[in-house]
Structure 1
Amino acid sequence: MKQLLNTKFPTSVSHVWLLVLRVTSAAFMLTHGYPKLMTLLEGGEIAFYDFLGLGMTASLALAVLAEFICSILLILGLATRLASIPLIITMLVAAFAVHADDPFGKKEFGLLYLLIFITTLVFGAGKYSIDRLLEKK
């Protein structure tokens, strides 16, 4: 029974969990970013939420930067905290602007991603990352 109540995890478990959380959430986000990248590269008519008033193409490019490029950086564990910031902003826009009038169920995924990316901002990439390798040099 005492073992079940133990809340202390070895540090190695924390680092493995940061790796799993970082890689899986970023890989899932790539499934949102890749189609946006293809839309941007095709150069056809773009219909995208213009949250900053910069135009639909610029807004789409910023979303691609966050959802595709920053997700790749998270998978690698490279510039993890910096890469988390555009993803956090994108999830804030998705949850509170794009889906502002939608029921909570539509906002839920954006909010869950938001919490994950805030976690990567706060805790960093962990031991198993390029950030850690560069830190050692």
Structure 2
Amino acid sequence: MRDWLFLPALARFGDLGLLLLRLVTGAFLIWQSHDNIFSAARMHEFERFLTQFNFWAPRLMAPLCVWAQFLCGISLVLGLATRWAGLVTTFVFIVAVWMVHWRQDFPGWWPALILVFLGILFATQGAGRYALDAMLARKQE
């Protein structure tokens, strides 16, 4: 009865779950930021967006935010410096919730809020077994 209730056999797939979550989260971060990196017009549009929400130094903050998301996405896909990527992602999206989504209803908060908590998860749990972080850690032993 206890095994049926708690499903302990699924725990052996935890690293696979982290891999899949890292891949989809990283792909999303890359997808949502790449257009601003490869298009000056899109970056300028993002600067105007930040200005609309009273961000400090939008000309500086726009590329900083976009590059942070893009590099964190690559980091998560590779499973490299995953804890750092989690911390940066958490910070970026706490700021997004506070500065942009605060006035919205809960569904408006949801995408940024989920990225806050995914960042916390990656910062605290790391990348799991199927990652460059794990491979590098094994080589250091």
| Structure 1 residues 29-69: Cα deviation after superposition (integer angstroms, max 9, x where no partner) | 2221112213458775641416762x212111121122111
Which residue in the other structure is 1:97 paired with? 99
2:19 aligned with 1:15: no
C-alpha separation between the residues in 2 aligned to 1:2 and 1:100?
42
* Structure 1 residue 10: Cα displacement: 5.4
Residues 60 and 5 of structure 1: is their aligned pair in 2 closer, same or farther, counting only changes over 3 Å? Answer: same
- The answer to whether the 8 A contact 1:80-1:131 is kept is yes
- When structure 1 is superposed on structure 2, of 6-15 and 61-70 the one drifting more is 6-15
Residues 133 and 104 of structure 1: is their aligned pair in 2 closer, same or farther, counting only changes over 3 Å? Answer: same
Tell me which protein shows more helix as a share of its residues.
Answer: 2
Which residue in the other structure is 2:33 paired with? 33
C-alpha separation between the residues in 1 aligned to 2:131 and 2:73?
14
| CA root-mean-square deviation | 2.3
Q: Following TM superposition, where does structure 1 have runs of at least 4 consecutive aligned residues deviating by more than 6 angstroms?
A: none
C-alpha separation between the residues in 2 aligned to 1:42 and 1:96?
23
Identity %: 28
- Structure 2, unmatched stretches of 5+, are none
| Structure 1 residues 58-102: Cα deviation after superposition (integer angstroms, max 9, x where no partner) | 111121122111110110000000111111111111112111212
- The answer to whether the 8 A contact 1:76-1:129 is kept is yes
